[in-house]
Homo-oligomer: A and B are copies of this chain.
Amino acid sequence: MHSFTEENYLKVIFHLFQVQKMPVQTNAIAGKLNTRAASVTDMLKKLADKKLINYIRYQGVTLTEQGKSTAIQIIRRHRLWEVFLVEKLNFGWDEVHDIAEELEHVGYQPLIERLDKFLGYPKRDPHGDLIPDSSGEFEIAVQTGLLELPENTRAIIIGVTEHSSPYLKHLEKLGLTIGESLLIEGITSYDGTLELNCAGKKISISRKVAQHILVSTKNQ
């Protein structure tokens, strides 16, 4: 259907739009895909011809309904494969992203539906990201950035917004993994370092580390 490359462009446009909520710029795409602005312009014309994006020269792009639905299917595949790799093949959460980047392009609908069933219809991937259902619907995420909470709040880690292996390994070493409950015991006034209590252990983390942690304050 769509080439490997086209799929990667759609996915990147989807993610960038989610963050910025503004038409996505050529340079931003080039940055994410490690390519040049000129190459991006070429591909944008192609995707516009295929009615996958709305593209006006110099104005950035948004996904059409068709483009959005395609992007979501790719994200669904990516996240389901990540669950498979962690739950069934016992990979660490820091090892699976790159493998899933390849597996996500194996496009045969029944494969994904059966994989989903085999995995027990998981709601979230190993990084806490929501997995869209087969019709492309996401559950509504009830989540807050750890940095937004005041002192003396209790929260449960439900996700991370940074998927690099060094970062995830670091969190794991600190014991800050998904599902863990924590209490913000203090926020240092000088540099904002967070003093946490997690599973009875005192941990202090910088704002740089904390900024990518998503938590839930529901169910205490």
Contact = CB atoms under 8 A, between A and B. Distances in A.
Interface of A: 85, 88-91, 95, 98-99, 102-103, 106, 108, 110-111, 114-115, 118
Nearest to A103: B106
A99 B89 contact: no
Contact of A115 (B89, B98, B108, B114): B89
Contact of A108 (B90, B102, B108): B102
What is the count of identical protomers in the complex? 2
A78 to B, nearest CB: 13
B91 A99 contact: no
Given A89-B111, A99-B111, A103-B103, 13 more contacts: A85-B111, A88-B118, A89-B114, A89-B118, A90-B114, A95-B110, A98-B108, A99-B106, A99-B108, A102-B106, A102-B108, A103-B106, A106-B106
Nearest to A95: B110
Nearest to A91: B114
A118 B103 CA distance: 18
A73 to B, nearest CB: 16
Contacts of A91: 110, 114
A103 to B, nearest CB: 6
Contacts of A108: 98-99, 102
Nearest to A106: B102
